[in-house]
Amino acid sequence: QKEVEQNSGPLSVPEGAIASLNCTYSDRGSQSFFWYRQYSGKSPELIMSIYSNGDKEDGRFTAQLNKASQYVSLLIRDSQPSDSATYLCAVRRGSSNTGKLIFGQGTTLQVKP
Amino acid sequence: EAGVVQSPRYKIIEKKQPVAFWCNPISGHNTLYWYRQNLGQGPELLIRYENEEAVDDSQLPKDRFSAERLKGVDSTLKIQPAELGDSAVYLCASSSGNEQFFGPGTRLTVL
């Protein structure tokens, strides 16, 4: 079992719809959770971080964390073609705020006009 | 504020040749990371520095890979000799707290 798992997709949604991206992790000691967006041929760009159970909203993005279920999700409202990218879930174990990130393989999102 | 700077952006070498990558982190970021990303996968940590000290190099293939961060600012990652399986994108990231920010990466092709 991989430590961080994502469905590789592609996930295809029409423009204006809600895209839901999911991630599960195996280490219950994980404390910090991140979503990165990666356009083809580019490096990962941090879009959301979440540290406690519940929802965190930033513009069209909402991150959801459920530590009991070891589950993190990212919702993108009013999806735009420019949101088409690979979304990487990353998890950090323990309390150190500079420890390494464990990444999933990413979910490819396609937003169709 | 300038982001993480990496060079070169692309490198093509033949197997058994040496190669070096350079990274300058965001100003004031004490923690520097080197990750490797294979096609279709997420990045995987190679080494982490806190200032000039390597605090996590457990996944660095030490027979051929080396890294340094002598003055606690910029860093160099070296591969000698390179193998075909080293073809990947080498990403440098830095942080001063909870969040890590990536540079543009160096795409290495070993022929």
CB pairs under 8 A between A and B: 54
Residue B50: the pLDDT is 94
Please, which pLDDT band fits residue A1 given cuts at 50, 70 and 90?
Answer: confident
**Strand bridging mode A30-38 / A11-14:** unpaired
In the predicted model, what is the mean pLDDT of residues A18-41?
Answer: 96
pLDDT in tens, A70-84: 999 999 999 999 999
Partners of A44 on chain B (C-beta within 8 Å) are 43, 91, 102
- As a 3-state breakdown, chain B gives helix, strand, coil percent values, each rounded to 5, of 5, 50, 50
In the predicted model, what is the mean pLDDT of residues B30-44?
Answer: 96
Residue A107: the pLDDT is 97
DSSP classification of residue B84:
G
Cβ pair B44:A44 closer than 8 A = no
pLDDT in tens, B64-104: 999 999 888 999 999 999 999 999 999 999 999 889 999 99
Report which secondary-structure segment, H or E, holds A34: strand A30-38
Q: How wide is the angle at C-alpha B24 spanned by C-alphas B21 and B25, nearest 5°?
A: 125
**What whole-number distance in Å separates Cα of residue A84 and Cα of residue A40?**
9
List beta partners, residue B98: none
A9: region left, alpha or beta (phi > 0 left; psi from -120 to 50 alpha)? left
Asked if residue B21 has pLDDT above 90, the reply is: yes
